[in-house]
Amino acid sequence: MIGTIFSLAFLAQVIRLAVPYVFAGLGGTINERSGVIDLALEAKLLFGAFAAAAVGHATGSAIAGIAAGLAAGMAVAALQAACALWLEADQVIVGVALNLLALGGTRFLLQIIFHEGANSPPAPSYGDAVFTNPLVWGAIICAVVVPLALVRTRWGLRVRAAGDRPDALLAVGVSPARTRFGAALVGGALTGAGGAQLSLVVGGFSADMSAGRGYIALAMVILAGWRPAYAALACLGVAISLAISFQLQVSGAGIPGELASLLPYVLTLAVLVVYGGKGRRPPASLGKL
């Protein structure tokens, strides 16, 4: 068991598992730093996964599938931002509604487009590949670029000001709503890429294949104090715990599979209970117009 954990195969598994969490964590961080509560990460992952599988199946191209996943994530983010910023709907309710829409909507689309109830037809798959999967490299690059962009660029300054001091943006003639909308699109594209990873690794879409990853990613964003680099590291920790739980299930260690599968969620809850209240405060205008 110990030897397996320190193997290259285990490391590759951790990287593959981390990609959706890292993309969703970075996307959620950008959106929340701009002042919009991002409970819709689950919806963006699901629609991104479905779009990637559907377009990948139709075109035979994994790259086209990735592009579709990004576009789907941006579309969900645009709808979320429009409801929150211009219709002034409650941001928590909007997020929950979009997640429920994604659960039912992707099943409906499976029936309408593919006449399937739970699984899409086969799509291009990266399988167990790590170094030849562009989404893996994209996640690594974004984990470096996003923290730097939020701190060292004019765009990042505006995003942070929209979340902390929207009045300061207005004073220099910049619209906080437009800044938040742009941040939502960037965050949606990143989360949609995470959804594409889910379907293009296994070569197809399955109903509810996000399996709560969006909620866990949001928990990691909060745990990290809305700092993207720390959020990415926290998401990597979730992936490590997932990989360990998988190894426990197949190692014959005598631990029931149901109990082993709970490990990542129990650890997430425990860490939030211990450290959740000790982090940085959220952006001052989070959830406010």
Give the closest residue to 243 by CA, choosing from 18, 26, 46.
18
**Nearest partner of 77 among 191, 168, 219, 247, judged by Cα:** 191
pLDDT 10s digits, 33-82: 999 999 999 999 999 999 999 999 999 999 999 999 999 999 999 999 99
- pTM of the predicted model as reported, rounded to 2 decimal places: 0.92
Query: Of 163, 161, 157, which is closest to residue 221 (Cα–Cα)?
Result: 163
Cα angle value 57/209/186 (rounded, 5°): 80
Is 111 part of a structural domain of the chain? yes
**Neighbour count for residue 188 (Cβ, 10 Å):** 32
**What is the structure's pLDDT at 258?**
66
What is the secondary structure of 24-65 as a DSSP string?
HHHHHHHHHHTT---TTHHHHHHHHHHHHHHHHHHHS-HHHH
Residue positions counted in the chain:
289
CA-CA-CA-CA dihedral for 168, 169, 173, 175, to nearest 10: -140
pLDDT at 251: 65
Domain that holds residue 248: 2-278
- Residue 119 C-alpha from the chain's centroid: 21
User: Is 271 a member of any domain?
Assistant: yes
Instruction: Answer whether residue 289 is part of any domain.
Output: no
Low-confidence ranges of the chain (pLDDT < 70): 1-6, 250-258, 260, 275-279
The tally of domains found in the chain comes to: 1
CB proximity list for 110: less than 8 A, separation 6 or greater: 50, 116, 117, 118, 119, 120, 205, 207
Per DSSP (E only), the strands in the chain are: none
Q: Is 126 a domain residue?
A: yes
In a domain, 86, yes or no: yes
Assess if residue 286 is contained within a domain. Answer: no
Does residue 283 form part of some domain?
no
Contact between 70 and 193 (Cβ < 8 Å): yes
Domain of 204, CATH number, reads 1.10.3470
Residues near 274 by beta carbon (within 8 Å), at least 6 away in sequence: none
Residue 284 lies in a domain: no
Q: What is the per-residue pLDDT for 195?
A: 96
